[in-house]
Structure 1
Amino acid sequence: MLKQLSLKFKNDAARIEFWIMTGCMLAALLISILDLAHQNQMSTQTLMPLLFSYLVTFTIYLLLCFYLAPAFEAEDRAALRGSLFLFLFMALAYLVGIINIYFSALLGLKLLYIYFNRNRKNSESSLYDEAALLTASWLLTTVGLLYLSTPLMLRFYLLFVVSAAIVLYLYAVHVILPAIKLKNRKTLRYILRMFLFTLLSCIAVCLISLSFKGNDRVLLTPTANAVLVIDMGDEGNIQNLVILNFFTQLLLVTPLALSTYKRRNAKKQEEISMLKTELGQSDANLNFLKSQINPHFLFNALNTLYGTALQEQAARTGEGIQKLGDMMRFMLEENVKDKIMLSRDIDYLNSYILLQKLRSATSPSITIETDIEEYQGPLTITPMLLIPFVENAFKHGISLQNPSHIEVALQIEGGTLYFDVHNSIHNHQENDPEKGRGGIGLENVKQRLNLLYPNRHELVIRENAREFFIHLTLQLTINN
């Protein structure tokens, strides 16, 4: 409902603005005709240019209202491709004195209004957004300076050199630089291209300036008919303008366009990297969730606890059940968090190893040694980064028929964790239910480490025919 009211208000405001603007233009045209009649200058030679001026002005206004504004507000901005020609037409009509100065300012304000009310969801239309903003700003600035006591050369500079700079800047940022992509030392190629286009812009500025040379009317000031009249004066002004244009395009526009492109490209790369990180982390977490609970291990643990309960007074059984409950609670409650206290992850690690020791307690050929430092400090860690290495060791390092050994060590120094797992290697029998199970997998852990701890970890993996060894160094942070 609120959206419908907002649209209705917006449509009503646009309709009111259109009729006010149309009425003002008709009134201004009528006053201009009466002024010509009052001065006894009414003739075909004076009336036709006046009518043509208002016709062009009104046409541009209609294009802004019914073509440019809807295109800028739409999510699909494909229609904006023709807007560059509209901006160019507006600038040329203003320079040659077709559009009334006062209406040029109003058209500039209308263009600025369209820009600030554009649909910002489409990032691919930055060329048209920038062109609209720069064109409107150029129009309003030059019109405003006509009423100030500014040096004549500054007005020439803003009218010709700045307009050329806008065109060259847009072309560099949106055409030249994306084409060469600044790879493999292509910056020099960009500078050479910009030098070439600078020379072309100097020729264009010179030719345009020559076309305004010898005007017999007042220099760059609002005239009786309120149109822009330009007289470039002598050839010295044209020469100075061309020199200023050369240095502006080469020393100002060239590095500015390069800096703008690099900044935007870096921002895009950062956004892409962030999206890849989020996607990769989601993929890693999904794979992890699919394999974090090993049903076969849980059934074995329960069977072991059941057998132990038949043999003993339930002391070990109670401890085992408690550890298993702690593990399940950890998986359901804390495993979903981005970061947990390191002490909690170590508790889970100890619980897992204790349950595995219960499985192998009746096999004297299996040796399990741990040197895990007790820690209660403020360091945090991403959950379930360490357990896959231990799970992998028990999966491949335990055999009931052959001597087996597993060694797990964990130390913390400052903010750095040192983790080592060393185990024997045994191939599973064909009827072993663990055979073929991928578990969490070391590749998944590597992926998570690269995503979550870039440049903050070192993982060393060594393997031979009988033994497997991993060493992980991880720089941790404190939970704020």
Structure 2
Amino acid sequence: MEILSGHSTAIKSRNINQLEFWISTTLFILALISICTQTTYGSGGSYRFSESSVEYSIMANFFLPEIFKISIIYFSFLLFNFVSMPQLAKGRNVTMNLIMTVAVTAFSIITWMVANTYTQAYRIVEFDDIDKAYDMFFGEAFTYIFFLYLLFNTYAYFNEGGMALFNRINFLKRYNKNIISEIFVTTKIWLISLLVFAAVISLKIDYEILIVWLLVPPVNIFFAFCAIYYIIPNLRKNFKGFGRYFWGNVGLTIIISILLLIILIPFMRNGEVIPVTLVLNIICLICITTPSAWYIYKHKFEKLSEIQMLKTELGKSDANLNFLKSQINPHFLFNALNTLYGTALQENAERTGEGIQKLGDMMRFMLHENTQDKISLTREVEYLNNYIDLQKLRTSRSADIRIDTHIEEQLNNLQITPMLLIPFIENAFKHGISLQQPSYIKITLQTKESTLYFDVSNSIYIKADHDPEKLKSGIGLENVKQRLSLLYYGKHELIIRESANEFFVHLTLQLD
């Protein structure tokens, strides 16, 4: 099971990586198309050069630099996400991957700076000293690339080792078994959104948007998890409704906003971004997170109730299945004892001893293996052969009874539910054999790959009026039909035909 689980995890990880590759490649292609479109049909920002009286070439000052900038970001993301960070997370080639990460970052900063000296050459005229202009370009390139690549590496490392990191937090594992995967997925989505925002900053989107996104989503995510796993369950235990929950969250929102304001006061001098962030956070907490958490909890609660109901129904089915099994065993035991009793009357020693030995094997099978959910098909076939041999002891002195068996020896590893085939054979001997009239039974069993083919046919004779079995149909066949429908739903085909002279059963079964 551990091997299968590890294999399943590897497959999921591979699928996630493939998805990330195609998403990043699609965004890269869209960016290239946008650059080509602006080059062909637009001015590429030439008006800024005109305003500064700087010579402009759309190829040298827009197309080629932008192609270099977007390409270096794309290939760096692939390198970090699929090569260096996965190996670092696993502790492989640490020194080499660290050196490669630093080298790629340095190369990207230089490339980005050089590209900006062409795309933003109109800004150079604002400086008296050309070195100060280059220092400005270098500082901007360093700040942007360093922050963007930090996000790249953080995401790649988290994607590889985030689950293992959360699994080390014993509090989370004890609290709820699903919360770790939910926190992992939510954090990953937030990191992806940060990557998108950071990547488009180069397209002149204000840094304030990134600051808002750095603060608002984590606070709302934390608030939502607290509400779903702590606040709402405790309120529901005390039979409190949505009204109490809503106004309580309003109070918590005010407290959280005051704490954030105290923390962010030193950054207030940077403009209006902090007050706007706090107001936006309050709106999100009250209008989005609060009702969403309530809906998610209700949805999860209803699903859990449905799952519990299904488990209850499944338990009833298991109990019913065990009851059906228990009905078969004593029914067969009485038949076997009657057979041995008849044999003992016919002769004294050898055949009776043989019959008792076979019965002992069969009772041992019923006591030990019949309680298991699955057994090997080989053991089931041995049980069938013992039963048939016992019945042959009873009928061997009658020349008018013909019993033909073609049961293949099973050398495979197929598994089957115990006592599944015996009712058909038992029914054939019970209703198809007469010691006073000619009668026959034919049994065939064979397997092809994982499919079992089982046929039983027997003669039909009219029972005497005083025969106690005349009006009894038995419970064996009905039980086995129910067991097949419970345990092999969609994996079996059962055909039962009855004519005036013959009863025929054909079973096709897909085994494990």
Provide TM-score, normalisation by structure 1: 0.50
Structure showing greater relative contact order (alpha-carbon pairs closer than 8 Å, 6 or more residues apart): 1
The structure in which a higher percent of residues are helix is 2
- Relative to the length of structure 2, the TM-score reads 0.47
